[in-house]
Amino acid sequence: MAEVKRSYDASGRREQAAARRRAVVAAAQDLFARDGFRATTIAAVARTAGVSAESVYKGFGTKAALAKAVFDRVIAGDDEPVPIVERSEAQAIQAEPDVRRKLQLYAGGVVERQVRSAGVQILIRDGRHVDESLEEVWQNLLTERLTGMTMLATHLHETGQLRPELSVEEVRDLLWTYISVEIYELLVLNRGWPLDRYTSWLSHALVAALCDQ
């Protein structure tokens, strides 16, 4: 009976810890968006989340690490510990036999993630010029994107349906460039393109760059 109680208590503590972590990340996301990275303090995040500043430091270590946690949350769209490559969208792309349709599906997913994550990416990218603690975070984002594009490029290349002169590395670099936050920033945030127009453009651009016409 005691073992059952200990198991229950441990499970309850884990759930409480996960709930506190979600609250801290959500608070940081709101404060970063409202006040910017430099002006947001750990104390303010803790106060908004209803926890102690000490617990925020224990859970994340630094404000830069908290910014990375915010990015991880918005890019996934939820708090579930499931990698993007294991989610239904990625599985649908894997299962689709036609490479052009794969790219269309991928472009739609990219835009959904950019809508959620562009503000955080830009905050980290631009914030590193005034707070050097964000430089490592930004480089991590670039590395993670490159790793993901390497995996996707390898999959696409193995279909045998891409332009024959393109190597896996070239496919990776083209994908890495086209999905960059800078292009989304230019066309959607600066030029005001509607999302459906941007999605259509991105889809056609990827197909034109990677497939024979």
Per-residue confidence (pLDDT) for residue 87, from 0 to 100: 77
Mean pLDDT of 163-180: 97
Per-residue confidence (pLDDT) for residue 9, from 0 to 100: 62
Mean pLDDT of 62-80: 88
Please, are residues 180 and 111 in contact by the beta-carbon 8 Å criterion? Answer: no
Please, are residues 117 and 145 in contact by the beta-carbon 8 Å criterion? Answer: no
Closest CA to 163 of 207, 211, 125, 103: 211
Q: Compute the distance between CA of residue 101 and CA of residue 96 in angstroms, rounded to an integer.
A: 7
Per-residue confidence (pLDDT) for residue 83, from 0 to 100: 72
pTM more than 0.95: no
Q: Compute the distance between CA of residue 175 and CA of residue 106 in angstroms, rounded to an integer.
A: 10
What are the pLDDT digits (tens) for 81-132? 677 777 788 899 999 999 999 999 999 999 999 999 999 999 999 999 989 9
Backbone conformation region of residue 52, classed left if phi is above 0, alpha if psi is from -120 to 50, else beta:
beta
Per-residue confidence (pLDDT) for residue 18, from 0 to 100: 85
Domains and CATH numbers, the chain: 1-61 (1.10.10.60), 81-210 (1.10.357)
- Sole residue written with tokens 């920033």: 185
Q: Compute the distance between CA of residue 95 and CA of residue 97 in angstroms, rounded to an integer.
A: 6
- Sole residue written with tokens 């990275």: 37
The pLDDT confidence band at residue 16, using thresholds 50, 70 and 90, is confident
